Amino acid sequence: MKQVSTKSEDSASVAEPPPPPAPRRGGRTYEEIEAVNSKQRKVKLAVGTVGLVVSLYVVVTVFQALALFADDIPRLLQGVIAVIAGVGGAALLFYFINMVVEGFPRRFSEGVIPYAFLLPAMLLIGVMLIYPTVQTINFSFADADSEVYVGLQNYIDVFQDPDFQESIFNNILWLIIVPAVTVVIGVVVAVLADNLSTNGEKISKSFIFVPMAISFVGAAAIWSLIYQYDPPGDTQTGLLNAIWVGLGNLVGASVEPVAWLSVSTFSLNDILLMVIVIWLQAGFSMILLSSAIKGVPEETIEAARIDGANEFQIFRQVVIPQIRGTMITVFITVLIMVLKIFDIVYVTTNGRDGTNVIANLFFQEIFRTGDNGIASAIVVILLIAVMPVLIYQVRHFRREETER
Amino acid sequence: MSANTEGGRKRSWFSILTMTFLCLLWTVPTLGLLVSSFRPRIDIERNGWWTALFNFFDTTWTTSNYSNVLTQKDMAGSFVNSIVVAVPATILPIMFAAFAAYAFTFMSFRGKDVLFVLIVALMVVPIQAAFVPLLTLLGPDGLDINGEYLAVWILHTGFGMPLAIYTIRNYMSTLPRTVIESAKIDGATHFQTFWRLIVPMSVPVLAAFAILQFLWVWNDLLIALLFLGSGDKSTVIVNLASLLGTQGQGAELLTAGAFISMLVPLLVFFGLQRYFVRGLTAGAVKG
């Protein structure tokens, strides 16, 4: 460190003949610099702490005021205030946290800075995700008002409830059908699109992809026009019934229109709801798989072709193994989504005619009975169902990290 | 049955026909909604939307469904609500997550691996697991902000955090480390390095995640329904969900309402498709 000060003197003396360089720092000893630094640190520590407290106070007050006077402030203005206070507040928060940490002795500060950067995000995750999840598990062993522990009673009740059994069955049905079909459609569309001209590929992919932007509720509205039922004798305004009755007339049989979403035979109504979700998700599947297929090296395909393999064999034995990773990613993403499928069932049938699923049952339980114990137990079962996927995800992540 | 096209690609008729068919299949439902939304109530009940399309010039077209749903069902108010909910709920998580992602990428500290594995795990946890305690925490016996925008902003920020951190960190770890090292040698603090170097370099992933989060918040039903309700603060999606239950009188408004709810996502989608695709590919898993 001493070298630094002598060096600066050296350079100052070398630069002597021409007019002296701007402010001269030379002449200070190491101790003097240290003293100045420690003084600066103390200032930083003080200003940072004050700034942190003040900015926290201001942000909290602004948001409290927003909540209190919500009805008197125009809605858009509320949004603007929230963005400014939220983003500005977060920026100030980080700025002052950083200042405080820099005010600590250097060695200590290096160790603390990472936690300062992590603190706000981890606090949010702790309060919004970890604490409530642990509490839910806790509640699942307590009574309706979460006051007395009742052991496993909630779980016993839940498993004996025919609604729950039906929901579990339906969830499993969703799990078996939707992820697999979505992956298959994704592969098929990706392969077919790959055989089109460049423009044809771009346009056709956009068509398949558009539903990705549409909400489940929007999709339910769209498909309600297809599954629409009108009494026999009326003109059928639903597309599916129009085709159904029209085909019947064509072969000369008198076919009754069907109230599609009420038909629980062979879980037909469940499957019709699944069609909506597959329609929504196919674009996602296609985009990921398409880029995977384009990543398959041409040489491997060429080699197989020289060996005399036909196109189908090439696809099955050369292409598929190389896109397996992406297929699993898509499969798991859709699987997780399907496991907690709620919106589509809630807005179409609300679980009537044997279409209930766990997430919808949970929602009904919160509002219908307000029983925290039962509702929590249902969610914990959902949580347990996710565990294998969770473990797979973590392992997969670990593997990728070591390969990095 | 294949011939080479300009780009040396093989064109097969089978592919062309099947893809055309699939594209039709994927478009017809939305087309039906669009056509229906411009038809008067009497016509909707009299015949299917395709009848109007085949007799395009003999059909009465009207925009009254749109004006009615905007005023009678206050879809206009809901539209404002959705914007007020979605914009802060998109920007806030990015802000917090970017700092955390920086720490996970460029700093070393005790417990780093454990914390990050926790984040990977939390991405998969269904958000329903948090609802019962949160209803109490944000309800009248707790912070008493249930039913306010504030509640939904906080919730979306919290729930979006794991995926945001994960996605942004994955991108940041591809940035050249030498840049950070040289900034350190020049005496830049972490705060300066973050703002002046890393944030500008991370714009692609920040934009991609912003679009993903925005669409997710805009299209969300569950959180909006539970924590904002279906009163005068209802979002377009919650409003549309209640329209879906309408039978008879007013049922024709559903189609127009649905299209209004899809307007912003579709604009975002077509305007920023490149970023959207990148966001999808980057953070495939969302709990």
Nearest chain A residue to B156, by CA: A128
pLDDT for A353-387, tens place per residue? 999 999 999 999 988 788 899 999 999 999 999 99
pLDDT given at position B180: 84
Determine phi and psi for A341, rounding to 5 degrees.
-60, 130
In one-letter notation, the amino acid at residue A343 is D
Residue of A184 and A11 predicted with greater confidence: A184
Angle between helices A30-68 and A2-14 (to 10 degrees): 110
Query: What pLDDT shows up at residue A178?
Result: 97
For residue B253, what are its two tokens? 């408004």
Name the nearest CA neighbour of A329 among A285, A274, A269.
Answer: A285
Q: Min CA distance, A149 vs chain B (Å)?
A: 16
> Cβ of B284 and A218 within 8 Å?
no
Q: Is the Cβ pair A207, B28 closer than 8 Å?
A: no
Q: Is residue A197 over pLDDT 90?
A: no
A267 has a pLDDT exceeding 50: yes
DSSP state of B128: G
Domain A153-215+267-403: assigned CATH number: 1.10.3720.10
Mean pLDDT for A335-356 is: 92
Q: Between A197, A208, A217, which is nearest B221 by CB? A: A217
Task: Give the integer Cα–Cα distance in Å for B44 and A223.
Answer: 15
The CATH class of B69-282 is mainly alpha
Give the domain ranges of chain A: 28-139, 153-215+267-403
Instruction: Find out whether A58 and A117 touch, Cβ atoms under 8 Å.
Output: no
pLDDT at A20: 46
pLDDT tens digits for range A151-169:
899 999 999 999 999 999 9
Phi, psi of B234 (to 5 degrees): -65, 145
pLDDT one-digit tens code per residue, B132-176 = 999 989 988 888 888 888 899 999 999 999 999 999 998 898 888
ipTM of the complex model: 0.90
A14: pLDDT strictly greater than 60? no
Q: For residue range A133-149, what is the model confidence (pLDDT) as tens digits?
A: 999 999 999 988 888 89
* Residue of chain B whose Cα is closest to the Cα of A120: B96
Residue B242 has pLDDT above 70, yes or no: yes
The CA distance from B60 to the nearest CA of chain A, in Å, is 17
For residues A239 and A91, the model is more confident at: A239
Contacts 24+ apart (CB under 8 A), A397-404: A397/B117, A397/B120, A398/B117, A404/B173
Beta carbons of A223 and B254 less than 8 angstroms apart: no
**Separation between Cα atoms, residue B272 and residue B253, nearest integer Å:** 29
Domain positions in chain B are 2-62, 69-282
Separation of alpha carbons A316 and A19, rounded Å: 79
The vertex-A161 CA angle with A157 and A162, nearest 5°, equals: 165
Is the separation of the CB atoms in B230 and A207 below 8 Å?
no
Facing A193 at nearest CB: one of B19, B109, B161: B19
Contact A139 B133 (CB under 8 A): yes
- Tens digit of pLDDT for each residue in B174-215? 888 888 888 888 888 888 889 889 999 998 889 888 988 999
pLDDT of residue A97: 85
**Span B80-101, pLDDT tens digits:** 899 989 998 998 899 899 999 9
* Residues B237/B264, Cβ–Cβ less than 8 Å: no
To the nearest 10 degrees (0 to 180), the angle between helices A131-139 and A372-403 is 140
Alpha-carbon span B149 to A393, nearest angstrom = 33
pLDDT-above-70 percentage for chain B: 92
B4 DSSP β-pair partners: B10
Query: What is the enclosing helix (H) or strand (E) of B12?
Result: strand B10-12
Of B46, B104, B221, the CB nearest to A343: B221
- Compute φ and ψ for B160, nearest 5 degrees: -80, -15
Percent of chain A with pLDDT over 70: 92
d(CA A186, CA A289): 6
Q: Is pLDDT at A3 greater than 60 in this prediction?
A: no
Nearest chain B residue to A392 by CA distance is B121
Burial readout A183-213 (b: 16 or more C-beta within 10 A, e: otherwise):
bebbbbbbbbbebbeeebbeebbebbbbbbb
pLDDT of residue B281: 66
Using CA atoms, how far residue B49 sits from A207, A224, B57, in Å, is: 20, 13, 14
Q: How confident is the model at residue B10, as a pLDDT?
A: 57
Higher pLDDT, B142 or B264: B264
Give the pLDDT mean for B280-286.
55
d(CA B49, CA B243): 19
Q: What is the DSSP string of B189-251?
A: -HHHHIIIIIHHHTHHHHHHHHHHHHHHHHH--HHHHHHT-SSTT--HHHHHHHHHT--STTT
Beta-carbon separation of A236 and B48 below 8 A: yes
pLDDT tens per residue across span A315-334: 889 999 999 989 998 999 99
